[in-house]
Structure 1
Amino acid sequence: MAAFSEYGSFDAVGLAQLIERRKVSASEVAEAAAERIARLNPALNALTASFPEHGAALAAQSPVEGHLCGVPFLLKDLSTHLAGTRLTNGSALYAGYVSTESSTIVERYLRAGLVIVGKTNTPEFGLSPATEPLFTGATRNPWDLERSAAGSSGGSAVAVASGMVPAAHATDGGGSIRAPASACGLVGLKPTRARTPSGPFAGEGWGGYSVAHVLSRSVRDSAALLDATHGLAPGDPYAAPTPAGPFLCEVGADPGRLRMAFTTRFAGGPETEPDCMAATEQAAALCASLGHHVEVDQPDFSMDEFACSNLVIATHIRLAILQRAMALGRDAERGDVEPLTWAAAETARGTTAAEYAGAINALHGVSRRIARFFDRYDVLITPTLAQVPPPLGTLRKQDDSYAEHRRKVRDFAPFTGIFNVTGQPAISLPLGMSREGLPVGVQFVGGFGREDVLLRLSAQLEQAQPWCGRRPPCAT
C-alpha cells in the first residue's frame, strides 16, 4: 500500500501545491499513482500501457519549472506521441509501432511538470462512442462494470473517475471528451477549434473537428491544463482567438448575468431519456436561481443537415488505414482492422473531391446559422447525452453497417458532434445522477473562443452544487 493514502482526494492543482510546499514528495505521489493503477486497472482495463518506472524516474529528477510539477498524468493512446513508447490507436494495424518523436501537446505537458505514467484505452481510430476495441479489450465503467464508459476517451475517463490519476489527456472529434465525462461523472471541456496544437504530425484532426484537452474532476484542473497547452505552434494552419488572460484566473471570476437558452431535443433529433432531460432541466433551473436569464430556445437547424459529416469522418478513417498500410509497404486489407472500421472506410471508397468539398461547404453553411444564435445568447444548455450509459456491447457491434453505427451514435450523443463541426467550446459537467445511480452530464456551449465564459459559469455551478465527493465505489 502506498504511503500517501490521501492521494485520491486531491485534484491535479492540489497535488502540485502539496509537492511545491513539500507536504509530500513527487516520488510519494508517483508511488501512490502506480499502486492505484496496479490495483484498479485489471478490473477496469482503462490503460493500454503503464510505465511506473518512467514516473518514478521523472519524479526523482530535479524539480521542473512547471506549475503542475510532479502530478501523475496519462495520455490517450490515439494519434498522440510520446517518444520511445508504443502507440496503438486501438488497432492491431499499429502493433509494434513505437513513437520516435513526441507530439507538441505532449512536450507542453512535460514542460508543465506532468509525470506521464501510461496510456489509456480507445476504440480503433477513435471511431466509436464506446471504448471496446477488439485489440486491447473493453474498458468498463467504474460506476457499473457491465456498463459502457462511452468514448472515444473512455480509458482516460475511467482512469480519472476511479482515482488512478487526477486528470488525463483526451481528444474530441464528435463528443469524445464530453460523452465519457458524462458517463463517468467528470468535467469534460472540448476547447475551441485549434485552441490546442495537433502538430507536428498533423495540422488538424478529422478536418478540424477534433481537438485535444483533458478529462478532470475539477473545473480548475481543466483550466490549469488548458493554460499549459494552448497557443499557436509553428506550422499550425490556423489559431483560436487569443484569450484575455490565464484560463485559471477565470475560475472563481464573476460570470455576470448570462443570457442562456436550453433545450432537451434538437430538431430532427432522437428522443432524450427522462434522466437526461431531468438533469438538464434542473441545471437550467439552477442557472436561473444564480441570476442568469434562462429561456427555452435552440439554434435554427435540423439534425439531418449534419448527416454529411458521416462522409467526412469515413474519409479520414479510410485515409488513416491507407497511410498505415503504405508505411508497412503493402496494400490495406479487410483483416487489418475491425469489421466496423473497414465498413466505415469502404463507405468513403469512390468519394470524389467535389463530394468531400461539397460536404464541408454545407456544414460551414449550417455553422454560420448556429453562430448567429450566439449573438443572442452567451450559453446554450443541453443534455450531454440522450441516454444513460448502456450495457457493454450495445454501441459497438461488429456486424453493424456504417450507417447503422452512425445512427446509434446520433441516438446516443446527438448534442455533441454539432459543436465539433462549428468549432465552438463546450463543456460537460457532472450535475445529474440517474435513478440507477449512474452519472448524467449536462452540456454548456459557448460562443467561438469563449472558454472564459464557460469556465466562469462552470466554477460557479461547481460551487453551488459540488460534485467532488461523489465517486464510484472503487475510487474510495
Structure 2
Amino acid sequence: MRLSEYVEYDATGLASLVSAGEVTALELTRLARKAHEEVNTRINAVIEFYEDAETVPGFDAGRFNGVPFLRKDIGETEAGRLQEKGSRLFKGCRSDTDSYFFRRAREAGLRTIGRTTTPELGATVMTESILNGITGNPWDLARSAGGSSGGAAAAVAAGITPIAHGSDGGGSIRIPASWCGLIGLNPSRGRVSGGPNNQDESFGRSRTFVLCRTVRDMAAALDEFSGPHPGDPFIIVQPNRSYVEELSQSTGRLRVGVARTSWGAINLEPEVLHTVEATATLLHEMGHTVTDIEPPYEPIEYSRTYTGASTARWLEEAARAMGRTISADTLEPVTLKWYEYGRDVPLSRVEGLQEALRKMRFRVGEAIHAFDILLTPTMPIVAVSHGGIYSATNPTISANEYVETNVAICQYTGVFNVTGQPSVSLPLAQSASGLPIGIQIVGRFGDEATLVRVARDLEEARPWRHRRPQVRAGGS
C-alpha cells in the first residue's frame, strides 16, 4: 500500500483491508510513521512517535485490526509512557497506570503509536505551549488547530492516523474537530469510563473519546469504548443495540431546536450562521420539525462554574509529590495566574460550585426539554490565528479575562459538558477562504444512538470526504 492510498481510508476501511489480507498491521504502522515524517515538522501535532511502535505485539486483532492510534498527552494514560500534560511542571513524568480507555483500545485492536500536543493542562482553545510549541492547522498553518485536543485533530486531518484519542471538558474535542474539518463526539457523562483514576473528573464535565473522519468510525469507536467499569460513580443506561447497527436504522421524525443567535459575548460570523441555516433547512427537508430556540442560559451562570480552586489544589499536590516548585519557570503566564486565583478563592465560593452546576443543569434542561436534538454552531467563528487572547502563553491576560474569553468562545460547547448531554461536531461546510465550519448536534442525555443516525443522514446529504487540507500526507 502506498502512503497516498493509506490516507484515503478511515479506520474501519483499513481494518477491513487487514482482515482481507491486503495489508498487515505492521505495514499500517510503518505508513503512519512515514506520514508522520512527511508532515509533522510542519504541523507539530505529534510530540513523540514511539520508538517501539512497530514491535509491540498483539494489535492485529479486534475490530480495528492494528489501525494506528494516537494518545493525547493529558487525561487517559498508558503505563510506563511519558505524560507531560503540555507543561514544564510535568516534563519527564511517566504514568504508572493503564487507563481503562487504553485497555479497551488495545482490546479493539488499535495500536497506539505516539502522543499528541495539548495546551498546558488542556486548559485553552489553542494548542500551543512553551514546552511543545505551536500546533498548526493543516488547512492553514497560520491558524490554530484548536484545543485542547488540537494535536490529535491536526494529526488526523493531515493523515498521520485516521483516528486519535481526545478529551473534552468544555469543547476540547469538538473545537478542534470544528476547526480541522473532523468529527468530534463528546459522549454522555458516564458513557465512556474515565477509570481507574478519573471516573468523574471535573464534577463530570470532562469526558474522553476520539476524533475521526467518518460517522462509521465514530459508531465503531462508541461500541468499543462504551461501558461501565468498577468504581464508576453511576451506570448510564446502556443502548438497545450496537452503535454500528444504528447506522442501518431509520432516524424517524425529530423535534429540532435551532440556535441562530449568539449564546455569549462573541457574535456568529455570517458564514457560520449561514451553515446553521442551511443545515436547519436540510433537516426540515428530511421531515423533521425545526423550531428556533433562545439561549438556554446566561454567560454569568457558566462563569460561576469556574473557580480554579480544584486546579490549584491539584497543582500543589502534584508539585509536592514531584519535588518541584510552582513558578513562572514551570507554569505558563495564564496558568500561573489561574493557579494564584484559585489558591485565593474563598471557601464559600468553592462550596457553592455544586449548586452553581445544579442550577445550570436544571435551567438548561427545562429550556431544551421539548426537543429531541439541538442544532447549533460548534464555534461562533472559524479557526483563529496563533497567539492572542486565547493563548495560555499570553502574558497580558488576567485570570478573570481568561474565564471571560473561554466562556465567550465556548458558548455552544461548554454548556453541554455541564449538562452531561452527548454532542457531536460535524464538518458540514467551509468558509470562502477554505476553512472548515463545524455544526454541533446535541442529543438527549444517554441518547448517542440518535446522534449516530442524524450524523449518518447529514454525512450522506452533505458529504465531506472529498475536502482536502493544505497539509496532508501522501502528496494528495
TM over 0.5: yes
Give the C-alpha shift of residue 199 in structure 1: 1.5
Aligned to 1:429: 426
Cα distance in 2 for partners of 1:319, 1:219 equals: 39
Matched, 1:196 2:192: yes
Stretches of structure 2 that go unaligned for 5 or more consecutive residues are none
Q: Which amino acid aligns with 2:47?
A: T
Preserved CA contact (<8 Å) 2:264 2:411: no
Give the C-alpha shift of residue 63 in structure 1: 5.9
Cα distance in 1 for partners of 2:325, 2:58 equals: 48
Give the C-alpha shift of residue 136 in structure 1: 0.6
Q: Which amino acid aligns with 2:357?
A: L
Give the C-alpha shift of residue 353 in structure 1: 4.1
Give the C-alpha shift of residue 422 in structure 1: 0.6
Aligned pairs (5 A) from 1:104-143 = 104-143=100-139
Q: Which amino acid aligns with 1:442?
A: I
Q: Which amino acid aligns with 1:412?
A: I
Q: SS in structure 2 opposite 1:118?
A: strand
Aligned to 1:371: 365
Aligned to 1:94: 90
Aligned to 1:291: 287
Cα distance in 1 for partners of 2:218, 2:296 equals: 30
Aligned to 2:153: 157
Matched, 1:25 2:24: yes
Mean CA deviation greater in 394-403 or 6-15:
394-403
Q: SS in structure 1 opposite 2:184?
A: strand
Give the C-alpha shift of residue 429 in structure 1: 0.4
Preserved CA contact (<8 Å) 1:36 1:163: yes
Distance 1:129 1:361, change over 3 A: same
Preserved CA contact (<8 Å) 1:123 1:152: yes
Q: Which amino acid aligns with 1:326?
A: R
Give the C-alpha shift of residue 130 in structure 1: 0.3
Among 331, 349, 353, the residue aligned to 1:355: 349
Aligned to 1:339: 333
Preserved CA contact (<8 Å) 2:84 2:93: yes
Aligned to 1:81: 77
Cα distance in 1 for partners of 2:418, 2:58 equals: 43
Preserved CA contact (<8 Å) 1:4 1:29: no
Among 412, 416, 420, the residue aligned to 2:417: 420
Q: Percentage identity across aligned positions?
A: 38
Cα distance in 1 for partners of 2:219, 2:64 equals: 12
Preserved CA contact (<8 Å) 1:318 1:348: yes
Mean CA deviation greater in 389-398 or 354-363:
354-363
Give the C-alpha shift of residue 75 in structure 1: 0.5
Q: SS in structure 1 opposite 2:380?
A: coil
Matched, 1:42 2:38: no
Distance 1:121 1:331, change over 3 A: closer
Give the C-alpha shift of residue 79 in structure 1: 2.3
Cα distance in 2 for partners of 1:76, 1:168 equals: 8
Aligned pairs (5 A) from 1:274-313 = 274-298=270-294, 300-311=296-307
Preserved CA contact (<8 Å) 1:269 1:302: no
Give the C-alpha shift of residue 269 in structure 1: 4.1
Among 238, 241, 250, the residue aligned to 1:245: 241
Matched, 1:468 2:465: yes
Aligned pairs (5 A) from 1:143-292 = 143-267=139-263, 269-292=265-288
Q: SS in structure 1 opposite 2:128?
A: coil
Preserved CA contact (<8 Å) 1:299 1:369: no
Preserved CA contact (<8 Å) 1:386 1:411: no
Cα distance in 2 for partners of 1:70, 1:268 equals: 43
Give the C-alpha shift of residue 52 in structure 1: 5.1
Preserved CA contact (<8 Å) 1:252 1:460: no
Cα distance in 2 for partners of 1:212, 1:33 equals: 23
Preserved CA contact (<8 Å) 2:259 2:376: yes
Cα distance in 2 for partners of 1:307, 1:236 equals: 28
Give the C-alpha shift of residue 280 in structure 1: 1.0
Q: Which amino acid aligns with 2:453?
A: R
Cα distance in 2 for partners of 1:7, 1:215 equals: 18
Q: Which amino acid aligns with 2:55?
A: A
Give the C-alpha shift of residue 125 in structure 1: 0.3
Query: Which deviations, in whole Å up to 9, do the C-alpha atoms of 1:240-284 show, x marking residues without a partner?
Result: 221222112112321111100101324554311112111111111
Preserved CA contact (<8 Å) 1:425 1:448: yes
Distance 1:19 1:407, change over 3 A: same
Cα distance in 2 for partners of 1:28, 1:297 equals: 50
Q: SS in structure 2 opposite 1:351?
A: coil
Preserved CA contact (<8 Å) 2:3 2:34: no
Cα distance in 1 for partners of 2:139, 2:34 equals: 20
Preserved CA contact (<8 Å) 1:262 1:380: yes
Cα distance in 1 for partners of 2:358, 2:82 equals: 37
Q: Which amino acid aligns with 1:178?
A: R
Preserved CA contact (<8 Å) 2:48 2:116: yes
Cα distance in 2 for partners of 1:22, 1:219 equals: 25
Q: SS in structure 1 opposite 2:94?
A: coil
Preserved CA contact (<8 Å) 1:181 1:430: yes
**TM-score computed with the length of structure 2 as normaliser:** 0.95
Q: Which amino acid aligns with 1:6?
A: E
Cα distance in 1 for partners of 2:463, 2:2 equals: 28
Query: Which deviations, in whole Å up to 9, do the C-alpha atoms of 1:335-369 show, x marking residues without a partner?
Result: 32111101111111233443223122122112122
Preserved CA contact (<8 Å) 2:260 2:292: no
Stretches of structure 1 that go unaligned for 5 or more consecutive residues are none
Mean CA deviation greater in 330-339 or 13-22:
330-339
Distance 1:460 1:52, change over 3 A: farther
Give the C-alpha shift of residue 69 in structure 1: 1.4
Preserved CA contact (<8 Å) 1:34 1:52: no
Cα distance in 2 for partners of 1:284, 1:409 equals: 27
Give the C-alpha shift of residue 188 in structure 1: 0.5
Distance 1:398 1:194, change over 3 A: farther
Aligned to 2:55: 57
